[in-house]
A and B are shown apart, each in its own frame.
Chain A
């Protein structure tokens, strides 16, 4: 018991802080950049749409080492390897489908006539996006933001290849656990892993509770 308390008091939480910083920035960037993309994709009947959708979904199926390899090659001319900025760029690629897919799905499920009513009212595509479409896909929006955040926190392979393990720069929580394992520090590895497990669980729980409430609320009032 004494040993556990001692371990807890000396616990370095900076990898978690770094993970959350990385996840917050990545989520914000992806939201701003991919919101128009998801909107355009949802409204498009273009023949190139499946190609763009495939590219967006690639990080779901590619081994992180493949993504990491190409990013390292690309980073060699930008001086981004083993830096926090490099991690942000890599995370944006890695978590791309987790932001785009829920948003696009949300937009596609909207009543088409509601969107058309906005156009008929003389409103542009952008006004329609922000005043009509976005406020009506709250559950999808919530899912996109939180899953992107959680997925970035849980990132490992790409971070290892791009960032290595530089304390306070690229040593995020998942890397820290890997290092602790390698150094046979099982006590700390246990605590770190438990924290990650709990955070991940409560993040998912909050998404499901929010979406359940939204559906329940709509169902009762309809």
Chain B
């Protein structure tokens, strides 16, 4: 069980703000943290990791983590920019964390990196680097796994596969996971709980369904192109062409509600 009661002055996207978080996370929970950039999501992970200081208290399994060095926290962290050891090969990146060849092989296999294990990070693509960072984060058999947008650089196919693999590893290692993500599909498939942050504060807390389904009877789309009586609308990642009644004036960039649809 992790209990966070923290307070820290931050310079956010909209000027100065204070990060005020009071959060309890159960052992084994998979918590997603969502919200606009600059809301303090990454800072929250960094404070939990011991990389940044804050006022207040971080208590893990009844033990206060005040003045508890980052080296002893037994966490896994996937940074947004990966933070790979540039001087080491993919395999050495993993073995540097823990000299456990069996686990390293297994993780390289899961992340489909076995072929690339002798390569240096600067020869890899963004998606490959992200997978190395993920594999490396599990090498310490972490109690707490902190993921800062861990799947953002991956293509949809790899993303889907790694969503499953991260979940499996999360369960296998029995870790408590905190994942910063903007992606509703990542959150829906992986997280058991979601908190949404705005300007340093938690404004929503619940399951993915509760948090993201505001009005289940309509979809919101963005107008991309307006023709005479037709518009092209973006809904999620899909383009839909719609007829519009003549008296309706629509402009590019407008957000419109699409109602009355059925699944078939």
Question: Which residues of A line the B interface, CB within 8 A?
Answer: 111-114, 116-124, 131-132, 135-136, 218, 221-222
Contacts and interface: CB of A to CB of B under 8 A. Distances in A.
A136 B87 contact: yes
Nearest to B85: A132
B122 A119 contact: no
Interface string B73-105: 111110101111111000000001110000000
Given A111-B81, A221-B122, A222-B122, A120 B70 contact: yes
Contacts of B139: 121
Among A112, A113, A136, residue most surrounded by chain B Cβ atoms (within 10 Å) = A113
Nearest to B82: A113
B72 interface: yes
Given A122-B140, A221-B122, A114 B86 contact: yes
Contact of B83 (A114, A131, A135, A221): A114
Nearest to A125: B71
A131 B92 CA distance: 11
A122 B77 contact: no
A121 B42 CA distance: 19
B87 A123 contact: no
A119 B77 CA distance: 11
Given A122-B71, A122-B140, A123-B71, A117 B123 contact: no
A121 B140 contact: yes
Contacts of A218: 122
A120 B140 CA distance: 9
Contacts of B75: 120
Contacts of B5: none
Contacts of A114: 83-86
Contacts of B98: 121
B120 interface: yes
Interface residues of B, number: 27
B85 A117 contact: yes
SS of A interface (majority): helix
Closest 8 CB pairs of A and B: A113-B83, A135-B87, A117-B83, A121-B97, A113-B79, A114-B83, A119-B70, A122-B71
A58 to B, nearest CB: 33
B51 interface: yes
Contacts of B97: 121-122
A123 B76 CA distance: 13
B33 interface: no
Contacts of B120: 221
Given A131-B96, A221-B120, A221-B123, A120 B85 contact: no
Given A122-B97, A218-B122, A222-B123, 14 more contacts: A111-B83, A113-B81, A114-B83, A116-B70, A117-B79, A117-B83, A118-B96, A120-B76, A122-B74, A131-B96, A132-B87, A221-B120, A221-B123, A222-B122
Contacts of A116: 49, 51, 70, 77, 79, 83
A112 B83 CA distance: 8
A117 B87 CA distance: 14
B235 to A, nearest CB: 36
21 contacts: A111-B83, A111-B86, A112-B83, A113-B79, A113-B81, A114-B85, A116-B79, A116-B83, A117-B77, A117-B79, A117-B85, A117-B136, A118-B85, A118-B96, A119-B71, A120-B77, A122-B71, A122-B74, A131-B96, A132-B85, A136-B87
